[in-house]
Chain A
Amino acid sequence: MGVKRMKELLEKLKEKKIKFEIREREEGVKKKGKRKTVLVYTPRENLRDIVKMLIETSEDFPHFSVCSFADYGDYVELNYHFSTGYGKPLQETNVILRVTLKKDDLRVPTLTDLVPATIFSEREIKEMTGIEIENIPDGRHMFLTKDFPDGVYPWRRDETAPKETRKMYEVWK
C-alpha cells in the first residue's frame, strides 16, 4: 500500500478508537530503507471489521502470512501477520493484528471467508493452542496426526502443554 493508502487505514483506525503502534527499523548499507510495521491492538469483536478495512485500503489484496501465538499464563496473544503495499520498491508495510484473549474465553471468529489464505493457519491455531475458531469451514487437524490426543496443545505453557519426552540425545548412547 502506498503511503496515502496507509494513512487512510490509520485514520479509519483512529475513527474507530482502536489503538495502534508504528515501528520502524532502518535497513541497508549505502542506501537506507525502512521496514515499517503497524501493530494494531485488535479487540476480538472488531477483528473482522479491521480485516475488511485492510482489504478495502489495499491496492491488490493484503497478503496473509501466518498466525503466531504467545502464552502469558492467564492470557494469550494471537497475532495475525499481514503485509500490504507490495509490488513497489520500499513500499511494503507489515500489519500485525494482535488479539489478546483471556484463558477462560478462548475463541476468535474465522477469517476464511474474507481471506481464503487463513484456512491453514486457523486449523493450525486450533490444534496447537486450543483456541476455538468460530464457524471454521474445515476443522480437521492440519499438522498433527488424526489420533493426536485431545486437550494437549503444544504451543501452550500451562498444564495442557505436552510433557517433556525422553530426549534422543539421552537414549542415544
Chain B
Amino acid sequence: MKYEIPIGPIHPALKEPILLQLTVEGEEIKDVDVIASQNHRGIEWIGMNRNNPVQSIYIAERICGICNISHPAAVILAVEEAMNMDVPDRAQYIRVIQCELERIHSHLLWAGVAAHEIGFDSLLHYTWKVREKVMDILELVNGNRVTKAIMMYGGVRRDIKKEHIPKIKKMLEYYKEGFDKLAKFFLEDKTIEMRTRNVGILTKEDALKLGAIGPTARASGVKKDVRQDQPYFAYPDFDVKAITPDMFTGEVVGDTYDRIVVRLLEVKQSVEIIERALDELPSGDILAEPKLVKLLMDLKKAEGEGVGRHEAPRGEVIHYVKLKKDFEPFFSWKVRAPTYSNIMSWIPMLKGCQIADVPIVAASIDPCISCTNRVIRINNDGKREIIGGDELHRLSVKKTKRLLEGGS
C-alpha cells in the first residue's frame, strides 16, 4: 500500500518553505517530488527594472542571509567582466579573506543544524558557541555581524585595519586548536555515525548528471571547486585543492557522513587560506574607482556581459549580468544559487531512505531555499484576486496595533 506524505511547506524539519511530496511504502521512501514554488520575492525582476547596479549589490546581499558575501561576490565578478575593470591587489586579498571567513561561519552553522536534525542538541549548542568567535571577528572587521556590505564594483568598501590583524590571528589559533576537538565530536561519535553512515547516498554518476555542486558533489568524489578549477579574486595564489572525503577516511561513500567530513575539512582549509592571505596582504588602494558618482556614470555607459562564478559555502553560485548602454538597471540578470542545482540530488538521496532520515538527508545538502526562490507574485487584473505583499503587510500592522491596544 502506497501513501503520500507531504513534508512542508512549513515543517519543523525544514527551516525554510519548500514542499517535499513523498510516496512511501511502509517506512521506505519510494518516490520524491520537490515543489519549490512557496516563497516568492522577485529579486531578479527588481534588479532588472527598479534598481541601479549599486543598489543591486545590496539586494543580492539579501538573496540569502548566510551567503551574504557570496552573492555580491558573484555579481561584482560578472559586472567587472562586463566592464573589463581591473581591481587593486589589496582588494582582491581582502575579498578572499572575507569569503573564507564566511565559509567558516557557514559550515559551522550547518554542522550545528545537522546535529540538531538528528536530535543531538547539545552538540548544536557547542558548535554554535565555537562559531561565535568568527562572528565576533566579522563584527569587528565589518561593523556588522550578518550583512557586511563590503563588496563594491572594482574593490572593497572597507580596509582591514592594522590593529585588527592580531585579533583575527588569535581567532585562527582558536580554530586550529579547536578543530581536532570538533572533528572528534562529529566524526568519532557513535550517535552521529549511526544516523549518517550509509544514509542518503549520492553516487558519483548521479552527482555528475544532476549537476550537483559544492560539498554535496565533493562528498560524492567529484573534485569540483571553482576556487581550484577557475580561480578568481586572489585565489590563484593559494593553490586551493578540492576536498574529497577520501583524504580523511580513505574512501568515498557519498553519504551524509562524507558531507560532514568535507565541510569540516573545509573549515580547516579556510583557516589556512586566511592565515596566508593575512601574511601576504599587499599594500595599496582598495578601490579602482573611489568616486561613486563616476562609477555610477560608468555603469550606465557600459555595455557588455559577464558571468560571475564564486564558490559559496554551499557550492558554486553563478550570476549572469548583461549591461546595456543608457539603461540603468541590469538589462539581464540571472542568479543561480547553489541549492538550485543541489535540490535535484535530494531525489536519488531520499529514495530508499526511511521517513525518519528525511530531516538529516534534506539538511545534508545545506539547503538554502530563500536563495533558490526569487520570483514575483503579481496582482492580477483577471478574476482571481491575489493579496499582494503590501496588503498583507497592512493587515499585519493592523493586527499588531489591535493586539497592542487590547493590552495582551
Q: Which residues of A contact B379 (CB under 8 A)?
A: 165
A3 at the interface (CB under 8 A from B): no
Q: Which residues of B contact A81 (CB under 8 A)?
A: 307, 318, 320, 336
- The reply to whether A145 and B336 contact each other, CB–CB distance below 8 Å, is no
Asked whether A86 and B390 contact (CB < 8 A) given A69-B332, A141-B37, the answer is no
- The reply to whether B36 and A143 contact each other, CB–CB distance below 8 Å, is yes
B250 at the interface (CB under 8 A from A): no
| A-B interface contact total, Cβ < 8 Å | 172
Q: Which residues of B contact A67 (CB under 8 A)?
A: 334
The listed residue (A88, A90, A96, A149) touching B307 by CB distance below 8 A is A96
B71 → A minimal CB distance (Å):
14
- The reply to whether A143 and B229 contact each other, CB–CB distance below 8 Å, is no
Q: Which residues of B contact A69 (CB under 8 A)?
A: 332, 334
B178 at the interface (CB under 8 A from A): no
B343 at the interface (CB under 8 A from A): yes
A79 to B320, CA, bound (A): 10
B283 at the interface (CB under 8 A from A): no
Q: Which residues of B contact A165 (CB under 8 A)?
A: 378-379, 388, 390
- The reply to whether B331 and A70 contact each other, CB–CB distance below 8 Å, is yes
The listed residue (B307, B372, B381) touching A37 by CB distance below 8 A is B307
The listed residue (B45, B375, B388) touching A166 by CB distance below 8 A is B388
- The reply to whether A66 and B380 contact each other, CB–CB distance below 8 Å, is no
B235 at the interface (CB under 8 A from A): yes
- The reply to whether B344 and A63 contact each other, CB–CB distance below 8 Å, is no
- The reply to whether B224 and A149 contact each other, CB–CB distance below 8 Å, is no
B231 at the interface (CB under 8 A from A): yes
Asked whether A28 and B36 contact (CB < 8 A) given A64-B211, A70-B331, A165-B378, the answer is no
A146 to B9, CA, bound (A): 14
- The reply to whether B393 and A168 contact each other, CB–CB distance below 8 Å, is yes
A37 → B minimal CB distance (Å):
7
- The reply to whether A91 and B229 contact each other, CB–CB distance below 8 Å, is yes
- Per-residue CB contact flags for chain A residues 5-41 toward chain B (1 = under 8 Å, else 0) read 0000000000000000000010111111101110000
The listed residue (A79, A145, A147, A168) touching B390 by CB distance below 8 A is A168
Residue of A nearest to B330 (CB): A70
A144 at the interface (CB under 8 A from B): yes
Among A42-50, A100-108, A113-121, the stretch that binds chain B is: A113-121
Residue of B nearest to A89 (CB): B228
Q: Which residues of A contact B48 (CB under 8 A)?
A: 155
- The reply to whether B376 and A90 contact each other, CB–CB distance below 8 Å, is no
- Per-residue CB contact flags for chain B residues 16-60 toward chain A (1 = under 8 Å, else 0) read 000000000000000000001100101011001110000000000
- Per-residue CB contact flags for chain B residues 76-101 toward chain A (1 = under 8 Å, else 0) read 00000100100001001100000000
A27 to B309, CA, bound (A): 12
B235 → A minimal CB distance (Å):
7
The listed residue (A36, A63, A70, A71) touching B211 by CB distance below 8 A is A63
- The reply to whether B380 and A145 contact each other, CB–CB distance below 8 Å, is no
SS class, residues of chain A in contact with chain B: loop
Q: Which residues of A contact B236 (CB under 8 A)?
A: 27-33, 90
Residue of B nearest to A23 (CB): B81
B309 → A minimal CB distance (Å):
8
A154 to B37, CA, bound (A): 15
A93 to B21, CA, bound (A): 37
Q: Which residues of B contact A65 (CB under 8 A)?
A: 211, 316, 318, 336, 341
Residue of B nearest to A145 (CB): B37
Q: Which residues of A contact B92 (CB under 8 A)?
A: 28-29
The listed residue (A36, A142, A148) touching B36 by CB distance below 8 A is A142
- The reply to whether A61 and B209 contact each other, CB–CB distance below 8 Å, is yes
Q: Which residues of B contact A115 (CB under 8 A)?
A: 209, 211
A119 to B340, CA, bound (A): 11
- Per-residue CB contact flags for chain A residues 52-92 toward chain B (1 = under 8 Å, else 0) read 00000000110111111111000000010101011111111
Q: Which residues of A contact B40 (CB under 8 A)?
A: 143-145
Q: Which residues of B contact A37 (CB under 8 A)?
A: 307
A120 to B211, CA, bound (A): 11
- The reply to whether A143 and B37 contact each other, CB–CB distance below 8 Å, is yes
B222 at the interface (CB under 8 A from A): yes
A148 to B48, CA, bound (A): 20
A142 to B381, CA, bound (A): 22
A133 at the interface (CB under 8 A from B): no
The listed residue (A28, A70, A85) touching B229 by CB distance below 8 A is A85
A162 at the interface (CB under 8 A from B): yes
Q: Which residues of A contact B375 (CB under 8 A)?
A: 128, 143-144, 154
B234 at the interface (CB under 8 A from A): yes
Q: Which residues of A contact B389 (CB under 8 A)?
A: 168
A66 to B228, CA, bound (A): 21
Asked whether A166 and B229 contact (CB < 8 A) given A29-B92, A70-B322, the answer is no
Residue of B nearest to A39 (CB): B305
Residue of B nearest to A127 (CB): B375
A152 at the interface (CB under 8 A from B): yes
Q: Which residues of A contact B381 (CB under 8 A)?
A: 163
> Can you name 6 A-B residue pairings with CB atoms under 8 Å?
A29-B282, A117-B210, A142-B37, A144-B37, A165-B388, A166-B390
- 10 additional A-B pairs beyond A25-B81, A165-B379, beta carbons within 8 Å, are A29-B282, A36-B230, A60-B208, A66-B336, A87-B222, A94-B309, A120-B341, A143-B37, A144-B40, A164-B49
Nearest 3 pairs between A and B by C-beta?
A: A117-B211, A28-B236, A92-B229
